């Protein structure tokens, strides 16, 4: 059922769970939500809500595997939440979710199943959490996982390898890089993991200055093994390797890909594969996670998977009203479509989570940054918000001014970790105090401060709390975010699993590149032609 971008989808032949499933704006409860927003939502005041309801914290907070979530500082009352839950029911989110877990081809524009959850399902889950029909896929997942983890352990035991360089971009970079950086305290000493994503040669050149051909293992990570940036970097790395006396490409270049044939053609003999039902931005759980496994070992990688699986099970089985990904997504829809908020700030109060916002940008904005529904019809409402963020407390001294006193309201998602992994308790206490204080200040404001010193308050935030930043809780946190994006995409009626929007630029770059050598500007628009001439001028 492959489609060209922009063409409308023939809805016949869709998985049953997707047929006649209303989009959010087609649900009967949608106008009621609008009415509730006009009557009670727009003027909702958090301070008053807490004053009137001493159970607010208990009722608007909940546990989920490895994550505690306080949702009480969000601009929502009980009626609003009930209406949003009604929306989820009317849009048959549960049937859509079950179709994903069951392996139905819910990625309709590419005719593919969406089974990243299978990558973290234990073998024993077959027939329970995992649809028995997925037995062959689960067996393949585990065979590959076992082989990849055995290889990771062999690399860890190989004293000749001091450096690992992962070459990949997008999902073949952001997820593994974020996890490796997040768990860095656990990296075995002496084995450095580097990530090169950009085709900007500064990136690869900087890494190559640090490593030696004989002691470096290159992981070429690309689902398609055709991505221009990755291929250019992989070829450049191989030229550098051979020029520096490296001889054994087969030993020191490994492919992580769903296109094993292309990796072989490159000269790579060791490949760890994955499948077309794993989207790039959902692939850190697959062979793409090899740098994580090399950094932290097989047990840590399995624990990461177990944490994610625990969250999968929560998402798959918890009732909607106590289902954390569902509740987060309902707030996302409430904010985007009724309050009109266009962005969300990610504020991890843990510097090791410095790449989390970048990873979540791909997960959310590549998944739900769409303007048409499954049938290819243009939507009359907003979809993915802009995600942005930076670890606290640094953000407080950069953009929090705008969050407190700017003209736009930006819901903030705080992520704090109770136990530090260092021996500086005073620092950790200060950090946690800052996280709590910022959420409090956003909510309470300072109404008595006049003019420039006035803080309006009533600014919403969610507070996610992890016990400690270990593989298990990190796995659960990432899976939580993946599922929340699934639910908002489902309500908006999107296909969250394709990414046609990145194609046009790739095609145009292929046309422009030779022009940088030839100087030919024929047929180009005036601005591109002007810039190209300027680039080729000696000035």
Cα 82 to Cα 490: distance, rounded to the nearest angstrom: 18
Kind of pairing between the strands at 461-468 and 67-70: antiparallel
Among 73, 96, 223, 302, interactor with ligand F6P by CB under 6 A:
223
Q: Tell me which stretch binds ligand F6P (CB under 6 A): 66-74, 144-152, 218-226, 490-498.
A: 218-226
* 227 near ligand F6P, rule: CB under 6 A: yes
The backbone torsions φ and ψ at residue 167, rounded to the nearest 5 degrees and listed phi first, read -110, 110
Q: What residues are paired with 414 via a beta bridge?
A: 347, 463
Least Cβ distance, residue 359 to ligand F6P (angstroms): 11
**Least gap, CB of 118 to ligand F6P (angstroms):** 19
Is there a contact between 307 and 473 (Cβ–Cβ < 8 Å)? yes
- The whole-angstrom distance between residue 144's C-alpha and the CA centroid of its chain comes to 23
CB 203, min distance to ligand F6P, A:
15
Interface segment toward ligand F6P; rule CB under 6 A; list 219-227, 232-240, 334-342, 527-535: 219-227
State in angstroms the smallest separation of the CB of 497 from ligand F6P. Answer: 10
From the list 135-143, 221-229, 295-303, 508-516, the region that binds ligand F6P by CB under 6 A is: 221-229
Task: Assess whether 506 carries a catalytic annotation.
Answer: yes
- Judged by CB, which is closer to ligand F6P: 367, or 462? 367
CA distance 139 to 464: 35
Angle between helices 324-333 and 78-90 (to 10 degrees): 100
State how far the Cα of 522 lies from the Cα of 515, in Å rounded to an integer: 9
Number of H helices and number of E strands within the chain?
Answer: 21, 11
Binding part of the chain for ligand F6P, among 89-97, 183-191, 224-232, 514-522 by CB under 6 A, reads 224-232
How far, CA to CA in Å, does 5 sit from each of 194, 307, 375, 376, 508?
Answer: 35, 36, 12, 9, 15
Number of shown-chain residues binding ligand F6P (CB under 6 A): 14
Give the angle 421-426-430 at the CA atoms, nearest 5°.
Answer: 95
Query: Per CB under 6 A, which of residues 253..282 are in contact with ligand F6P?
Result: 280-281
Q: Which of 62, 215, 224, 351 binds ligand F6P (CB under 6 A)?
A: 224
Report how far residue 482's alpha carbon sits from residue 364's, in angstroms, rounded to the nearest whole number: 8
In the complex with ligand F6P, the residue whose CB is nearer, 227 or 303, is: 227
Q: What is the largest CA-CA distance in the chain?
A: 73
Is 73 in the active site?
no
The piece of 209-217, 223-231, 381-389, 440-448 that touches ligand F6P (CB under 6 A) is: 223-231
Torsion of CA 133, 137, 141, 143, to 10 degrees: 100
CA proximity to 352, closest of 420, 429, 281:
420
Token pair 């250019």 in the structure block, residue: 232
Q: How far is the CB of 171 from ligand F6P (least distance, A)?
A: 3
Nearer to ligand F6P, 64 or 169 (CB): 169
Where would I find the beta strands (DSSP E) of 213-334? 216-221, 253-257, 270-273
**Among positions 131, 222, 462, 495, the unique one binding ligand F6P when judged by CB under 6 A:** 222
Per CB under 6 A, the list member of 502, 504, 508, 509 interacting with ligand F6P is 502
Distance between CA atoms of residues 128 and 1, nearest Å = 30
Nearer to ligand F6P, 227 or 271 (CB): 227
Indicate which residue of 202, 397, 422, 452 is catalytic: 397
Binding mask 158-197 for ligand F6P (x = CB under 6 A): -----------xxxx-------------------------
Catalytic entry in 212, 235, 454, 506: 506
Q: Which is nearer to ligand F6P, 72 or 222 (CB)?
A: 222
> Cα 366 vs. chain centroid, distance in angstroms?
9
* 297 belongs to the binding site for ligand F6P (CB under 6 A): no
Interface pattern 349-388 for ligand F6P (x via CB under 6 A): -----------------x----------------------
In the complex, minimum distance from the CB of residue 520 to ligand F6P, in angstroms, rounded to a whole number:
27
Phi, psi angle pair for 258, to nearest 5°: -95, 0
Could you say which of 110, 364, 366, 390 is catalytic? 366
Nearest to 61 by CA among 51, 72, 50: 72
Residue 223: CB minimum distance to ligand F6P, A: 4
Enumerate the β-bridge partners of residue 412.
345, 461
Two tokens, residue 156: 């860890």
In angstroms, give the least distance from the CB of 501 to ligand F6P: 9
- Residue that the structure tokens 């190989």 belong to: 158
Across 511-525, b (16+ Cβ under 10 Å) vs e yields eeeebeeeeebeebe
Nearer to ligand F6P, 74 or 367 (CB): 367
Q: How many CA atoms lie within 13 A of 495 on its CB side?
A: 30
- Please identify which residue in 109, 131, 137, 230 interacts with ligand F6P, judged by CB under 6 A: 230
Smallest separation (angstroms) from ligand F6P to the CB of 259: 8
Active site residues: 366, 397, 506
Q: Interface residues with ligand F6P (CB under 6 A)? A: 169-172, 222-224, 227, 230, 280-281, 366, 499, 502
């Amino acid at each position: 059922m492959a489609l060209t971008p922009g063409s409308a989808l023939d809805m016949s032949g869709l998985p049953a769970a997707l047929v006649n499933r209303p989009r959010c704006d087609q649900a009967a409860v949608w106008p009621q939500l609008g009415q509730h927003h006009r009557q009670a939502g727009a003027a909702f005041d958090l301070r008053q809500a807490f004053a009137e309801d001493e159970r607010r914290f208990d009722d608007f907070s909940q546990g989920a595997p490895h994550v505690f979530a306080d949702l009480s500082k969000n601009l929502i009352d009980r009626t609003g939440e009930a209406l949003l839950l009604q929306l989820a029911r009317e849009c048959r989110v549960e049937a859509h979710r079950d179709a994903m877990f069951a392996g139905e081809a819910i990625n309709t524009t590419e005719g593919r199943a969406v089974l990243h959850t299978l990558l973290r399902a234990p073998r024993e889950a077959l027939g329970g959490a995992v649809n028995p029909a997925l037995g062959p896929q689960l067996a393949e997942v585990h065979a590959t996982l076992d082989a990849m983890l055995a290889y990771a352990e062999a690399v860890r035991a190989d004293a000749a390898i001091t450096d690992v360089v992962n070459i990949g971009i997008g999902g073949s970079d952001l997820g593994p890089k974020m996890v490796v950086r997040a768990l860095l305290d656990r990296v075995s000493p002496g084995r450095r993991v580097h990530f090169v994503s950009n085709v900007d040669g500064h990136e690869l050149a900087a890494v190559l200055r640090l490593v030696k051909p004989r002691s470096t293992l290159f992981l070429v990570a690309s689902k398609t093994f055709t991505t221009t940036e990755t291929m250019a970097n992989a070829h450049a790395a191989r030229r550098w390797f051979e020029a520096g006396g490296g001889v054994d490409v087969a030993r020191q270049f490994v492919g992580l890909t769903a296109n094993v044939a292309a990796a072989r053609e490159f000269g790579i003999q060791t490949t760890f594969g994955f499948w077309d039902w794993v989207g790039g931005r959902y692939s850190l759980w697959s062979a793409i996670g090899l740098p994580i496994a090399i950094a932290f070992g097989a047990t840590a990688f399995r624990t990461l998977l177990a944490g994610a699986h625990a969250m999968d099970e929560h998402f798959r089985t918890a009732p909607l009203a106590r289902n954390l990904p569902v509740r987060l997504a309902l707030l996302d829809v409430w904010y985007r479509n009724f309050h009109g908020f266009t962005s969300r700030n990610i504020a991890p109060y843990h510097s090791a989570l410095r790449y989390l916002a970048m990873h979540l940008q791909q997960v959310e904005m590549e998944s739900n940054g769409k303007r048409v529904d499954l049938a290819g019809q243009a939507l009359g409402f907003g979809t993915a918000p802009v995600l942005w963020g930076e670890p606290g407390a640094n953000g407080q001294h950069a953009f929090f001014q705008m969050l407190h006193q700017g003209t736009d309201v930006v819901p903030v998602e705080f992520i704090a970790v109770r136990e530090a992994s260092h021996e500086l308790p005073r620092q950790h206490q200060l950090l946690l105090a800052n996280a709590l204080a910022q959420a409090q200040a956003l909510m309470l404001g300072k109404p008595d401060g006049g003019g420039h010193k006035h803080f309006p308050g009533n600014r919403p935030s969610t507070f996610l709390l992890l016990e400690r930043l270990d593989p298990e809780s990190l796995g659960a946190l990432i899976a939580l975010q993946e599922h929340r994006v699934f639910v908002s995409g489902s309500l908006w009626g999107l296909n969250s699993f394709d990414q046609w929007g990145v194609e046009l630029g790739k095609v145009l770059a292929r046309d422009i590149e030779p022009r940088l050598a030839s100087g030919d500007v024929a047929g180009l628009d005036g601005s591109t032609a002007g810039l190209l001439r300027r680039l080729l001028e000696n000035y």
